Structure 1
Amino acid sequence: MEALDLTLIWAGIIALAVFAYVVMDGFDLGIGILFPTFAVGEERDQAMNSIAPVWDGNETWLVMGGGGLMAAFPIAYAIVLPATYPLVIAMLLGLVFRGVAFEFRWRDPAHRAFWDWAFCIGSVVATFSQGVMLGAILQGIHVEQGAYAGGWLDWLSPFSLLTGAALLIGYALLGATWLFGKVEGTAQQHARRMAGRLAWIMLLAIAVVSAATPLLNLEYARRWLEFPSVLLTAQVPLLTIIAMVLLLRGLRKGRERLPFLMALGLFLLGFIGLLISVFPYVVPGAVTIWEAAVPRESQVFLLVGTAIIIPVIVLYTSWSYWVFRGKVGTEGYH
């Protein structure tokens, strides 16, 4: 145990939790973003039923990521949270409103149209807040003597708004490709059309964000463009193009699982690109993971509990997806 770098292990755990949340909650947020485009009645009912068994469990990873950051890297938590308070509040309110709308949509049919829009608006607000938060962290946080020293609206910039819009497109693509494999009839046809359109918009969004990120910081540009590291970093855009081609081909050939898997691959490549830009900083340019970490004894104590909790979460999540596999109709799975 003494030879292990527990700080690096904890950074990996937090990264895993964040990525798991993004890909799992991303597709049901994406369905919420696209919800008004589906026809009232059977199409919307199928879309909602496709995520009914799993949407709340997907948010477990958000708690894991946020709680793990606070416990293992309290300095980073104490810097990032004040820097993004309005975004965090908006995200949580969006998630709460979405959850309430999800439940009341079935129990209050007289106002179903209102709850449908509430479901969409909550999903849009939560997603956009997450994207803007990512942009705000990437563009840099003003830190002095280990504390946040910026203003209330420092997070607001053209770049952060760009990343917010890009995440809306990305989650919508995840939602459309998920539905393509889960629903039938006109709902599936609509999801297929939306996925095809969103894939091209997503490719443009990736290109724009990728071009803008190195302009934020010379260190980002150096990591991506200097020789010989460029030989490795160039594989990320190459693999992104390959994943996009496979996604579009899967849609065209009617392969129901491949587009969703490729959409997940796009997010994985984006996450790898993020790590290339910022690692080993947890607050880019200001605080490394080792500077932000709690003492080793605390890391060991936390790791014991985490070693029990994560397998339980993985088993529960896997079982849920296995039980509710297959197509879903307006009345449920079949």
Structure 2
Amino acid sequence: MGIDLPLIWAIIIAFGLMMYVIMDGFDLGIGILFPFVPDRDDRDTMVNTVAPVWDGNETWLVLGGAALLAAFPLAYSIILSALYFPLFLMLGGLIWRGVAFEFRFKANDSHKPFWDKAFAWGSYIATCSQGLALGGFINGFEVKDAAFSGGVLDWLTPFSLFTGVALVVAYALLGCTWLIMKTEGELQRRMIKLARPATLAVLAIIIIVSVWTPLVHPDVANRWFALPNILFFAPVPALVLATTWAILRLLRGEPHVGPFLFTLFLLFLGYSGLAISLWPNIVPPAISIWEAAGPAESMGFTLVGALLVIPCILAYTAWSYYVFRGKVKPGEGYH
């Protein structure tokens, strides 16, 4: 039996994108939360919780894009052609917030409010653009002769607008629970208060998307209720409710790391539901990972590099988070 290279690469890309959501989600969430935290010292503390690691978090986004080009060039060409505008906005938002991240520490008191707003706006634009791209991806693409044949604004639909807002709420919850874990005092208490409605909002979003998607896409409904997919999908709703309950219960006590871990699991459940809905298509609605795969020789060659690079990324990421573990106090951190 030969090695199924398209399947291996699909797993690598799915893992890379999930790692990006985990690692950069709470990072973007901090910028999303800026308008809810007016105190300048609290904002400095919020940023200092991610200052040593924030730029490394985006490594996973680069890995996912490069892997898609290397392993599935057909999918790369179609997806980027169809989602060019929201992806362009996403990169612009990430660049803008990156500049603001550095400049807000160097700016004088008169200019700092401008960079605070830039950091927040960059976070909102980048996150909303990712959600718009996700909604456009779920809706699928019009393909003819192995090329995108739709319109430049096909991605802009009521569903994609909803997923854009939904991702902002999800990242805000990640940001809240990250700050609950990394801060203390009044800032932590403020995050606990914000996390409760954010948790319920994420639950409502998951329910709405779970109803909306199969109604609009009968092929998705067929995948959900067909064997063996239904065996994997059936536990997801119960796990979502149990995880939401666990987050809310932990927020009533003196929470630390628990809400953040359960929030990560809640987003993973949503991610797994998306994977079940679309599998095995990498270009919805009808191009599978095997149809979009590149030559076996190039996939095998690049796989060797990926298997060397990914453990290194995981190792330095784990080490950086270990080194900068613990609570961040006002006045401490990045300079």
Deviations 1:205-260 (CA, angstroms, capped at 9, x unpaired): 11111110102211111122357754542211110111111111111122211100
| Matched residue SS, 2:252 | helix
Residue of structure 2 in register with 1:6 after alignment: 5
3-state SS, counterpart of residue 329 of structure 1? coil
Are the aligned partners of 2:229 and 2:276 in contact in 1 as well (CA < 8 Å)? no
Deviates more, 1:281-290 or 1:54-63: 281-290
Q: Please give the root-mean-square deviation of Cα atoms over the aligned residues, in Å.
A: 1.2
* Structure 1 match to 2:184: 184
- SS in structure 2 opposite 1:150? coil
In structure 2, distance between residues paired with 1:82 and 1:279: 21
2:156 match: secondary structure: coil
2:306, 2:229 → 1: CA distance? 34
Other structure's SS at 2:248 match: helix
Contact 1:143 1:286 in 2 (8 A): no
Letter in 1 for 2:277: S
Match of 2:314 in 1: 314
Residue 104 of structure 1 corresponds to: 103
Question: How far apart, in 2, do the equivalents of 1:226 and 1:302 lie?
Answer: 34
Encode CA deviations 1:235-294: one digit per residue, 9 max, x unaligned.
Answer: 111101111111111111222111000110011101110110001100112311111111
Task: Report the counterpart of residue 331 of structure 1 in structure 2.
Answer: 331
The aligned residue for residue 56 of structure 1 is 55
- Give, as a single letter, the amino acid of the residue that structure 2 aligns with 1:185: G
2:140 counterpart residue number: 140
Aligned to 2:214: 214
Give the 3 Å change call, closer, same or farther, for CA 226–74 of structure 1 in structure 2.
closer
Cα distance in 2, alignment partners of residues 21 and 232 from structure 1: 24
Q: Secondary structure at the match of 1:282?
A: strand
| C-alpha separation in 2, matches of 1:313 and 1:299 | 20
**Secondary structure class of the residue paired with 2:265:** helix
Give the corresponding residue for 1:205: 205
Aligned residue for 1:51, secondary structure, equals coil
Structure 1 gap segments, 5+ residues each = none
* Helix, strand or coil at the partner of 1:33: helix
Q: Contact 1:36/1:116 (CA < 8 Å) preserved in 2?
A: no
Q: Could you report, residue by residue, the CA deviation over 1:148-198 in whole angstroms, capped at 9, with x for unpaired residues?
A: 000110000000111111111000000000001101111101111111110
Q: Which amino acid in structure 2 is aligned with residue 151 of structure 1? A: G
Matched to 1:256, the amino acid is H
The equivalent of 2:273 in structure 1 is: 273
Give the distance between the partners of 1:37 and 1:95, measured in 2 at CA: 21
- SS for the counterpart of 2:282 is strand
Pairing 1:39–2:17 present: no
Q: State how far apart, in whole Å, the 1-side matches of 2:242 and 2:157 are.
A: 32
What CA distance in whole angstroms lies between the structure 1 residues aligned with 2:93 and 2:129? 9
Aligned mates of 1:263, 1:221 — CA distance in 2: 26
Alignment length, in residue pairs? 332
Matches for 1:231-310 after TM superposition, within 5 Å: 231-310=231-310
Q: Provide the C-alpha distance between the structure 2 equivalents of 1:245 and 1:225, rounded to a whole number of angstroms.
A: 26
The residue aligned with 1:122 is 122
2:30 maps to amino acid: I
Stretch deviating more after TM superposition (219-228 or 314-323): 219-228
State the one-letter code of the partner of 1:99: G
- Tell me, in whole angstroms, the C-alpha distance in 2 between the residues paired with 1:322 and 1:226: 43
Structure 1: distance between partners of 2:91 and 2:232? 37
Moved more, 37-46 or 183-192: 37-46
Letter in 2 for 1:186: E
Supply the AA of the counterpart residue of 1:93. Answer: G
How far apart, in 2, do the equivalents of 1:231 and 1:252 lie? 34
Q: Which residue of 2 aligns with 1:25?
A: 24
2:151 counterpart SS class: coil
Aligned partners of 1:221 and 1:136: how far apart in 2?
18
